[in-house]
Structure 1
Amino acid sequence: MSFVLIDKPRPHITLITLNRPERMNAMAFDVMVPFKEALEKVSADNGTRVVVVTGAGRGFCSGADLESPGRIPGIEGLTVSAIALRSMELLDDVIRAMRRMHQPVIGAVNGPAIGGGLCLALATDIRIAAEGAYFRAAGINNGLTASELGLSYLLPRAIGSSRAFEIMLSGRDVDAAEAERIGLVSRAVPGDKLLDECYELAERIAAFSRPGVELTKRMLWSSLDAASLTSHMDHEGLAQLFVRLTTRNFEEAIQARKENRPPEFKD
């Protein structure tokens, strides 16, 4: 059985599914290693313009698998301390791999996103949730810290610091309706319409210029790390000039509007 599935449901759209529904797609290493490999493979696929990530069954991802964590690769001869470091590095690399993808990543949050599952959801660029989904920073409930896999970095930037502090320190559930209200997800939709909603958004994005979309994703993430407005505006300006001067996309957009037709961006 493959714990990660790769499908192409529509042209230029790739769906990556965590496929261990009996464990609510928990983050066993047997799942996360092929998931990271799938992210890297799809990122290199020039036929893919937008990626959708979801979970099989009733859960998106239930976080760490405490009963069957799977095998950590490359740990022969290491001590417990070194094994712990390798395991965290592997999981951290999953988050970084998603952020490094050339394509925008839409998280189709079909059910609970708990602990590390919340981190996976936050690592996507856009999140759309099923109405039955919910989110929980579970570490604090387990006597640990609530912060893991970039959560204390990503969550405040998504919903603001006060809400992030409250959610992470209380360990409470955030249902889909609240998640939409506070900006944790773009919108909540009926579960049977979730993937179609994601595909329709993906098709709209895929119709635009490839460098325009890729650079916009880079600039949005870069803005979260920018030391100053001036520094970030310099980067934005260079990105805009790059696409404007090296393609005829702008001219095509103007002509298409005159002719009342969709633009055909050839980059």
Structure 2
Amino acid sequence: MQDDQPILFERRGAVALLTLNRPATRNALDGEAMYAAFESLFEQLNADLSLRAAVLTGAGSAFCSGGDVAKMRDRSGMFAGSPEQIAQNYRNGIQRIPRAFQRLQLPVIAAVNGAAIGAGNDLACMCDIRIASTAARFAESFVKVGIVPGDGGCWLLPRVVGASKAAELALTGDAIDAEEALRIGLVSKVVAPEALLDEAMALANRIAANAPQALRWTKQLLLQARTGTLDEALDAAGRFQGLAHHTADHAEAVAAFFEKRPPRFGQG
């Protein structure tokens, strides 16, 4: 049953629409089924060369509420056990999500429809591009409940908004609205709630109109640039460029340029 799936998958042409499907918990990132769903879906997206982009959003009123605070209170689930056991729970649990994003070859757009709190804020930062509804709210709120960003937020957030603003958000735990998120560069666009999915899909389709293998290689270069040196980035770019110049898509794009027509990309 679709209702039992933690993440819904819908194919819209060359775009994969992924919807967090736990509205009763405001799409909390909790449980083996959720972690495994990210891994298996992303493997499926990587393997399907006809897919060129993805959109991630949330069912119901929230994008993602982060961790399950009731389980924190009860010291159950991944919050159970000794400090060493909890560290292991994180490695074997929620930390599988940012690692899955690191392996994802497709560009992914977060369509943030509501609250993105704690790990939900970090989830948005794992995506390549973020568009927000005017109803969206963001908070790197871990300190508010006496914990730290255990899912990599202190690595992710500075790469999106810069070190100073990331420190302010992480150390205060303050929530910000969509307009402030736009001002600081956490999101690239804010739209009315009813227009959010259309805007995200329109952007995904503009991305998907390009050569599919070049999109995947460009995504890998963007990921590598987060941690690599300039020399490493240039080496990787040169290797991918050498391959790209020998693809059928590159030949088609050049032919289309001279023939003054839109290119017709395949899988080459």
TM-score by length of 2: 0.89
Q: Deviations over 1:133-165 (max 9, x none)?
A: 0110111111223x3311111111111111111
Q: 1:45 to 1:251 in 2, by over 3 A?
A: closer
Matches of 2:88 and 2:139, distance apart in 1: 25
**Letter in structure 1 aligned against 2:263:** P
Q: What SS is found at the alignment partner of 1:91?
A: coil
Structure 1 match to 2:86: 84
SS at match of 2:226: helix
Verify: 1:23 aligned to 2:31, yes or no.
no
Equivalence for 2:129: 126
Matched, 1:163 2:162: no
Q: Deviations over 1:27-59 (max 9, x none)?
A: 221433334333333333333221111110110
Q: Give the structure 1 partner of residue 140 of structure 2.
A: 137
Equivalent pairs, count: 259
Residue 12 (str. 1) matches residue 14 (str. 2): yes
Counterpart of 1:232 in structure 2 is 233
3-state secondary structure, aligned to 2:70? coil
Distance 1:168 1:253, change over 3 A: same
Distance verdict in 2 for CA 1:205–1:41, change over 3 Å: same
Q: Deviations over 1:109-131 (max 9, x none)?
A: 11110001111111111111111
SS, match of residue 119 in structure 1: helix
Unmatched 5+ stretches in structure 2: none
Which position in structure 2 is the counterpart of 1:180? 182
SS in 2 for 1:225: coil
CA spacing shift, 1:234–1:138, aligned 2, 3 Å = same
Deviation readout 1:191-211 (Å, 9 max, x if unpaired) = 111111111111121121122
Cα deviation per residue 1:213-260 (whole Å; 9 max; x = unaligned)? 00100001101111x32221121122112101x214333223212332
Match of 1:203 among 198, 202, 205: 205
Q: Distance in 1 between matches of 2:257 and 2:212?
A: 20
Q: Tell whether the 8 Å contact from 1:119 to 1:148 is kept in structure 2 after alignment.
A: no
Residue identity opposite 1:220 in structure 2: L
Contact 2:134-2:179 within 8 A present in 1 as well: yes
Q: Residue deviations 1:9-38, cap 9 Å, x none? A: x21211111111121111221433334333
Equivalence for 1:38: 41
Structure 1 runs of 4+ aligned residues shifted over 3 Å read 30-33, 68-73, 78-83, 248-251
Task: State the one-letter code of the partner of 1:98.
Answer: F
* Aligned position for 1:257: 257
Is 2:83 the counterpart of 1:53? no
Tell me, in whole angstroms, the C-alpha distance in 2 between the residues paired with 1:150 and 1:203: 30
Instruction: State whether residues 27 and 65 of structure 2, in contact with CA within 8 Å, keep that contact through their aligned partners in structure 1.
Output: yes
Structure 1 segments unaligned to the other structure (5+ residues): none
Q: Percent identity?
A: 37
CA distance in 2, matches of 1:232, 1:26: 36
**Whole-angstrom distance in 2 between the partners of 1:86 and 1:38:** 24
Q: CA deviation at 1:71?
A: 8.5
- Contact 1:18–1:56 at 8 Å: present in 2 too? yes
